[in-house]
């Protein structure tokens, strides 16, 4: 039996397994909280996106968004699977190159790139720096002059289309901080032409947000970009070589519909994420091939993060305390993993399916409230603000108790990469199950000694 339709998850001996390995055993061995990932699933996801889009538009390149899960091993797996890379900082660029990506396979995004970051992008001859503003274009030209090397760029435009996803993860409207308004783009193209020795505009880019679950949001944004580009082509004879539609491919987060009764319909819809990659690919390619075919030879770029790693990892934690709140008639369990391990829950009111990994065949029908260990009222796995974005109760086996392992599924995206040491808690380790079934420590579970890294004593 698969869990949540994720092929690498299965059940054996009442335990959750990933790629045939016992999650409970791995957690017992390495300690919790712990992220456990599947090399096979990451590889399959890269290939699935590539193949889905290449079926409809052969000249498609998938640039994995490194920020979703930035472990060196994950970057290496994406590289070995034939993926390219999207980075958002000099640090991610550094790690990407350490993982084996060549500059020509890297795209660099960001709203506040430093001169040093721009310089390293230019020196490493990356495929494109996605320019965020007219000012930044000038900064890139000046840096290119100093480096005596031409910079490749895409212009990030604001399509002003809402993705319909929770506020805080929308990135394609005028309210957000990202990109350049269309009306500024012609002047940027003129400026680039005047400085063509130092800058080559290779095309246009947008990214409207994560977990974009309406096909219309992708299509409306693309329509804005293509209509604009078609006009620019007419007026300035500038034809983009690359059209980069960003990331945001959604994944389904639900085991079943029980959570729907506790959640706002729009949030529930968003987290169901039923839109398939194939549907998006077919519709996007259809649009790209319209417009009298002027864009049919363009390279189509995607920057998926969540879709590549989201369902490839589980996060396992252990129940460390329990209580019954008589006044509220509520049962609570307290885990060793809180928002220090998975800050997306607090930041974006995200929902992750949870199962009791060591009692997985027992009926999960007993409502409990679940909290993390931090000295923070908001460190709970439910909607603390009372907006009903998240379910208040999670369904667990009636026997759930201290010492049980709770696995949170589909925690591969924006989990490990947003961990912190808040409350003096060492960061969780990351174990990857290799394709041959062996376990690889991608990131060692931290110790108390790691809490002192880079700190100095004034007493000694």
State the catalytic residues.
Answer: 375
Smallest gap from residue 308 Cβ to ligand PLP (A): 8
Kindly indicate which of the ranges 2-10, 203-211, 261-269, 393-401 contains the residues binding ligand PLP, using the contact rule CB under 6 A.
203-211
Q: How far is the CB of 78 from ligand PLP (least distance, A)?
A: 13
d(CA 363, CA 137): 58
Write out the binding residues for ligand PLP, residues 238-257 only, by CB under 6 A: 246-249
CA 18: distance to chain centroid?
21
To the nearest whole angstrom, how small is the minimum distance from the Cβ of residue 38 to ligand PLP? 18
Check binding of 49 to ligand PLP (CB under 6 A): no
Q: What is the spatial distance between Cα 44 and Cα 50, in angstroms, rounded to a whole number?
A: 10
Q: Could you give the C-alpha distances from 319 to 33, 213, 352, in angstroms and in order?
A: 10, 34, 17
Asked whether position 17 contacts ligand PLP by CB under 6 A, the answer is: no
Contact indicator for 18, 38 with CB cutoff of 8 Å? yes
Closer to ligand PLP at the Cβ: 103 or 305? 305
Closer residue to ligand PLP (CB): 283 or 418: 418
Shortest gap between Cβ of 119 and ligand PLP (angstroms)?
21
Site membership for ligand PLP, residue 74 (CB under 6 A) = no
Shortest spacing between CB 69 and ligand PLP, in angstroms? 10
281 in contact with ligand PLP (CB under 6 A): no
Only one of the segments 31-39, 226-234, 254-262, 302-310 lies at the binding site for ligand PLP (rule: CB under 6 A); that segment is 302-310
Regarding 65 and contact with ligand PLP (CB under 6 A), the answer is yes
Looking at beta carbons only, is 153 or 413 nearer to ligand PLP? 413
Residues 127 and 203: their CA atoms lie apart, in Å, by 11
Contact pattern for ligand PLP over residues 145 through 184, marking x by CB under 6 A: --------------------------x-------------
Nearer to ligand PLP by C-beta: 306 or 346? 306
Pick between residue 220 and residue 244 the one whose CB is nearest to ligand PLP.
244
Q: With contact defined as beta carbons under 8 Å apart, do 42 and 36 qualify?
A: no
- Identity of the residue, 246 or 397, whose beta carbon is nearer to ligand PLP in the bound complex: 246
Among 68, 131, 342, 380, binds ligand PLP (CB under 6 A): 68
129 binds ligand PLP (CB under 6 A): no
Contact letters (x/-) for ligand PLP, 303-322, by CB under 6 A?
xxxxx---------------
Q: Are the beta carbons of 18 and 9 closer than 8 angstroms?
A: yes
- Kindly write out the interface string for residues 204-233 of this chain, putting x where it contacts ligand PLP by CB under 6 A and - elsewhere: ---x--xx----------------------
Q: Which residues contact 123 (CB under 8 A, 6 or more apart)?
A: 147, 149
- Nearest-angstrom CA–CA distance, 99 and 436: 21
Q: Residue 18 forms beta bridges with which residues?
A: 9, 21
- What is the distance between the alpha carbons of residues 78 and 303, in angstroms, rounded to a whole number? 13
In whole angstroms, the minimum distance from the beta carbon of 348 to ligand PLP comes to 11
CB atoms within 10 A of CB 338: 26
Total number of residues shown for the chain: 460
50, 82 in Cβ contact below 8 A? yes
| Closer by beta carbon to ligand PLP, 248 or else 445 | 248
Q: Is 284 in the site for ligand PLP (CB under 6 A)?
A: no
Instruction: Assess whether the previous peptide bond of 33 is cis (omega < 30° from 0).
Output: yes
Q: Identify the H or E element spanning 65.
A: strand 60-65
Q: What mask of x and - would describe binding to ligand PLP in positions 84 to 123, judged by CB under 6 A? A: --x----------------------x--------------
- The least distance separating ligand PLP from the CB of residue 205, rounded to whole angstroms, comes to 8
Q: Does 429 engage in binding with ligand PLP (CB under 6 A)?
A: no
CA distances in angstroms from 130 to 98, 245, 305, listed in the order given = 21, 12, 17
Q: C-alpha distances in angstroms, 15 versus 9, 33, 213, 256?
A: 10, 17, 32, 19
Q: What is the dihedral of CA 138, 142, 148, 150, to 10 degrees?
A: -10
* Cα 6 to Cα 1, 210, 312, 435, distances in angstroms: 10, 20, 9, 16
CB of 92 to ligand PLP, least distance (A): 11
- Tokens (6 digits) for 383: 């909607």
Instruction: Find all residues with CB under 8 Å of 270, minimum gap 6, and list them.
Output: 164, 165, 166, 211, 213, 250
- Give the span between the Cα atoms of 209 and 221, in whole angstroms: 11
Q: With respect to ligand PLP, which residue has the nearer C-beta, 179 or 240?
A: 179
CB proximity list for 343: less than 8 A, separation 6 or greater: 418, 419, 420
Q: Which of residues 65 and 185 has its CB atom nearest to ligand PLP in the complex?
A: 65
| Least distance in angstroms from the C-beta of 397 to ligand PLP | 32
Would you tell me which residues interact with ligand PLP (CB under 6 A)? Answer: 65, 68, 86, 109, 171, 207, 210-211, 246-249, 303-307, 413
């Amino acid at each position: 039996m698969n869990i949540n339709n994720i092929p690498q998850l299965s059940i054996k001996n009442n335990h959750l397994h990933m790629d045939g390995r016992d999650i409970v055993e791995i957690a017992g061995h390495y300690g919790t909280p712990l992220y456990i990932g599947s090399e096979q699933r990451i590889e399959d996801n890269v290939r699935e996106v590539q193949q889905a889009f290449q079926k409809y538009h052969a000249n498609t390149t998938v640039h994995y968004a490194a920020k979703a899960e930035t472990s060196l091993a994950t970057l290496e797996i994406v590289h070995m699977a034939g993926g390219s890379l999207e980075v958002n900082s000099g640090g991610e660029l550094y790690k990407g190159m350490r993982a084996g990506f060549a500059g020509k396979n890297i795209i660099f995004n960001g709203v506040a790139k430093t001169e040093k970051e721009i310089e390293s992008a230019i020196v490493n001859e990356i495929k494109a720096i996605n320019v965020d503003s007219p000012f930044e274009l000038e900064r890139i030209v000046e840096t290119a002059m100093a480096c005596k090397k031409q910079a490749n760029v895409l212009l990030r435009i604001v399509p002003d289309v809402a993705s319909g996803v929770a506020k805080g993860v929308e990135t394609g409207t005028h309210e957000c901080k990202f990109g350049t308004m269309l009306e500024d783009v012609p002047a940027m193209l003129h400026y680039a032409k005047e400085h063509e020795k130092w800058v080559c505009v290779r095309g246009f880019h947008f990214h409207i947000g994560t977990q974009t679950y309406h096909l219309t949001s992708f299509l409306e944004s693309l329509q804005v970009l293509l209509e604009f580009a078609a006009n620019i082509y007419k007026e300035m004879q500038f034809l983009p070589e690359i059209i980069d539609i960003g990331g945001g491919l959604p994944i389904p987060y639900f085991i079943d519909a029980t959570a729907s009764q506790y959640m706002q319909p729009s949030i529930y819809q968003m987290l169901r994420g039923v839109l398939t990659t194939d549907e998006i690919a077919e519709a996007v390619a259809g649009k790209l091939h319209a417009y009298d075919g002027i864009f049919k030879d363009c390279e189509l770029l995607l920057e998926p993060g969540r879709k590549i790693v989201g369902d490839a990892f589980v996060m396992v934690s252990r129940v460390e305390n329990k209580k019954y709140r008589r006044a509220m008639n509520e049962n609570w369990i307290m885990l060793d993993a809180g928002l220090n391990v998975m800050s997306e829950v607090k930041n974006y009111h995200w929902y992750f399916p949870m199962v009791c990994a060591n009692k997985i065949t027992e009926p999960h029908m007993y409502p409990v409230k679940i909290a993390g260990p931090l000295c923070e009222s908001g460190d709970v796995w439910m909607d603390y603000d009372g907006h009903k974005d998240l379910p208040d109760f999670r369904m667990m086996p009636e026997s759930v108790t201290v010492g049980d392992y709770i696995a949170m599924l589909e925690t591969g995206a924006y989990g490990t990469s947003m961990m912190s040491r808040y409350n003096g808690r060492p960061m969780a380790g990351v174990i990857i199950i290799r394709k041959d079934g062996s376990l690889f420590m991608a990131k060692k579970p931290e110790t108390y000694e790691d809490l002192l890294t880079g700190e100095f004593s004034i007493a000694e």
